[in-house]
Amino acid sequence: MKVTREQAAANRAAIVKAAGRLFRERGFDGVGVAEIMKAAGLTHGGFYGHFASKDALAAEACGKVFDDTIERLETGRDQAGQDLGRYAGNYLSEVHRTRRDVGCPIAALATDVPRQEAGVQASYAQGVDRFIDTLAARFPALAGGEGDRSRAILVMSALVGGLALARATEASDRALSDEILTAVRDEITRLPGS
């Protein structure tokens, strides 16, 4: 039975969505094509009808999770309004630390991307670049003329680094993990205009 174009597009979207979730949760090398297809509700055999390789899927999934993250930031669906301190509180929360499968792709994939092929690296770099611009545009606290982008890079680096360190220390030293979340969140909140 032939699949309609609409169904093929829906299947591809389901594969990309499942891959984005699993890659953020376990890294690019921590999940295989069969598992991604199963999570998408499809059979393994259909994968190559949609993608030339797992790397091609990884590049597309990386781009899609950035699109979704940036859309949430642009539209205010993160519930922070124009308040950078509130955004930092949401980003550096216990929920975001624990829910790796739905969180920010920057923190989830940062250490994994350098080991991936060029298409994945390019997709990630484009996403980070767009995120920086969106962060600078979204929060008045980052405004300051030509420093907008530099301040946004600083804040993004603090958010991502704080979350990554909190995740890395959570299992062995929960108190340290909590301390990292609190310290970074508090320091961002103290930035002028936050």
* 159: confidence class by pLDDT, cuts 50, 70, 90: very high
**Overall CATH class of domain 58-189:** mainly alpha
Q: Which residues contact 25 (CB under 8 A, 6 or more apart)?
A: 31, 100, 101, 108
**DSSP conformation letters of 78-142:** TS-TT-HHHHHHHHTSHHHHH-TTTS-HHHHHTTTGGGS-HHHHHHHHHHHHHHHHHHHHH-GGG
Asked if 194 contacts 144 with a C-beta cutoff of 8 angstroms, the reply is no
Instruction: Indicate if the pLDDT at residue 74 is higher than 60.
Output: yes
Mean of pLDDT over the chain = 90
Instruction: Indicate if the pLDDT at residue 44 is higher than 70.
Output: yes
Rounded to the nearest 10 degrees, what angle do helices 118-138 and 54-75 cross at?
0
Asked if 148 contacts 142 with a C-beta cutoff of 8 angstroms, the reply is yes
Structure confidence by residue, pLDDT tens digits, 5-37: 898 899 999 999 999 999 999 999 999 999 999
* Higher-pLDDT residue of 102, 70: 70
**CA dihedral of 99, 104, 109, 111, whole degrees rounded to 10:** -90
Distance CA(158)–CA(160), nearest Å, equals 6
For the chain, which residues make up each domain, given as ranges?
A: 58-189
Whole-model pTM: value is: 0.89
Place of tokens 């990554």: 164
